[in-house]
Structure 1
């Protein structure tokens, strides 16, 4: 195999690596590794120098590594830098002028610092007209940052202390945003603030203080994570408007049978539905296309086969592969014999 072929294969494999899902490993962690593993030789551009407290490798001149250096203030950022790593420090503020020279930034990693909302200038991010990824998770933010670049594709502000995301102006115009992590905050209300995010495919607002699902969610969502809130009901026809929704997680809420309108979850396209650790007494009807259903730790008292198959014959059966019903008030003896025809693809049924 020639050198050229090896390079092509490595490039293709790296391009096919999947993005991580909620709470998963950072898909870009490979960039944080040893310099020798990142990139081959590139012509060095040292325009603007490099702060003493940071690392600007000649092999990757458009990146500046200042992570885990004990920094308490923002360093000087050369204009050539596109990828700035400031995570795992003790930075408390980002002034309006802190990024004025960093107009070429595409990635800004500031997670695991000590940022507060009052210490972030209202114009701090405005000049970053090419920014695509902004990581602000694990800080001390209490409000949603203002004047964020409309070029963002990936915004992570989970594990903060944000209570409300009420104003659509904060997110309006973010037509490229596909990933929004807001989980592990203290959000009680979101109003219609997410309506403008036309390209959003992954929304994680789990582990907040929501008592109802947010209104006017983007219709192109693929993944919606709402677990560990206090939601007790869903609006009529809530999921029918999401034509591309595949993964819904609502575990650890307060859902009851009364709060779920008929056929709420009986929508085609869903691949995984997690309703575990709620207060449901019946298995809600689901689409025959659903593949994974998690209902453990509810108050289910009977196995309703009609929830999976309204008609059972050779051509009509559920595509369900995983069904968890353990931690309820039924036993394996409560599963009717006809279930072998309806649930013929299920490799795992736990009761």
Structure 2
């Protein structure tokens, strides 16, 4: 009897209520989902009004070209942050403490000064792979950059010196842009960059080739400096190097040791706008050679082919010799055998 009374008392409230809503479970799920997402937004931080955080790409935040003069608040879930084309002058230590998941940080085309970047500003960004700081007013490389970086762009600044401490521990760095600065000395700052494949330090104030270049380089750009010579055998250990550009320097024949550029694997060599009087010997596997605007007085076929016959020939496709002291009449007749692949020879 007691069991029946208990059951009736449990069912009594239902008897006096309306019929149950068959979609109540859906409302309950939607309500839970809404509040869960709301809590997540509160935890991660809301998107700043001056930026866009698209629902289609929720881990990105677009603040580029908004006239910003200071760093905005960054939600913790953001991985891709676009702040380029603003007038930001500083990155305080606290600016990125909430954004520890950042993978890309785009700060190019701003007004950043080295003294206005906190020494711990980037310390917590353990997942950062790309950092773009080009076209700012930096006089030195920021301190304590993440070791996770793969692509670092510092070109078009006012950097005068690069020290070993600036790039210490960057084993993952593959791309380094330092061109269009005022660098006079790099010391041995590049020796530990084991993964570096592209190095661009053109248009600086270097008087010599940097010491201890990484062995896995694919592309080396040194043009528009005041380099007059290259070290003995400086290319012998670069088994993967394909592109060298040293145009607009002060290179002379005396400053280039014999067979410096006669290395296999090289695809393109640019020595234009220097002070060479002879064509330096190159490998018969080279495909593009730029020697225009030098002081070359003779077309030496032996620079391309040590032996000229049917089976031994150069794979050179492009040869620029215009702006020198030779003419088409100086090209020997045997060149059609040696340079049989060349489709573009300018004299």
Tell me the TM-score normalized by structure 1.
0.87
Q: Which of 144, 147, 171 lines up with 2:144 in the alignment?
A: 147
Extract structure 1 runs of 4+ deviating beyond 2 A: 43-47
Question: What does residue 173 of structure 2 align with?
Answer: 177
Q: Which of 268, 293, 313 lines up with 1:297 in the alignment?
A: 293
Paired residues for 1:131-142 under 5 Å: 131-142=128-139
Question: What does residue 340 of structure 1 align with?
Answer: 336
Paired residues for 1:108-257 under 5 Å: 108-166=105-163, 168-257=164-253
How far did 1:169 drift?
2.1
Equivalent residue pairs, number: 308
- Give the gaps of 5 or more residues in structure 2: 1-36
Please give the per-residue CA displacement for 1:21-52, whole angstroms capped at 9, x wherever unaligned: xxxxxxxxxxxxxxxxxxxxxx9974411001
Question: What does residue 57 of structure 1 align with?
Answer: 54
Q: Which of 92, 96, 105 lines up with 1:99 in the alignment?
A: 96
RMSD: 1.1
- Give the gaps of 5 or more residues in structure 1: 1-42
- Structure number with larger C-alpha Rg: 2
Q: Distance in 2 between matches of 1:77 and 1:113?
A: 18
Q: Distance in 2 between matches of 1:350 and 1:169?
A: 46
Q: Distance in 1 between matches of 2:103 and 2:253?
A: 47
Question: 2:336 is paired with a residue of what secondary structure?
Answer: helix
| Residue 278 in structure 1 maps to residue 274 in structure 2 | yes
Please give the per-residue CA displacement for 1:83-131, whole angstroms capped at 9, x wherever unaligned: 0000000000000010000000000000000000000000000000000
How far did 1:241 drift?
1.2
Q: Distance in 1 between matches of 2:172 and 2:206?
A: 26
Q: Distance in 1 between matches of 2:234 and 2:339?
A: 26
Q: Distance in 2 between matches of 1:227 and 1:170?
A: 23
How far did 1:194 drift?
0.4
Q: Which of 254, 259, 275 lines up with 1:258 in the alignment?
A: 254
Q: Distance in 1 between matches of 2:256 and 2:180?
A: 25
Please give the per-residue CA displacement for 1:231-277, whole angstroms capped at 9, x wherever unaligned: 00001001111010000000000000010000000000000000000
Question: 2:171 is paired with a residue of what secondary structure?
Answer: coil
Question: 1:333 is paired with a residue of what secondary structure?
Answer: helix
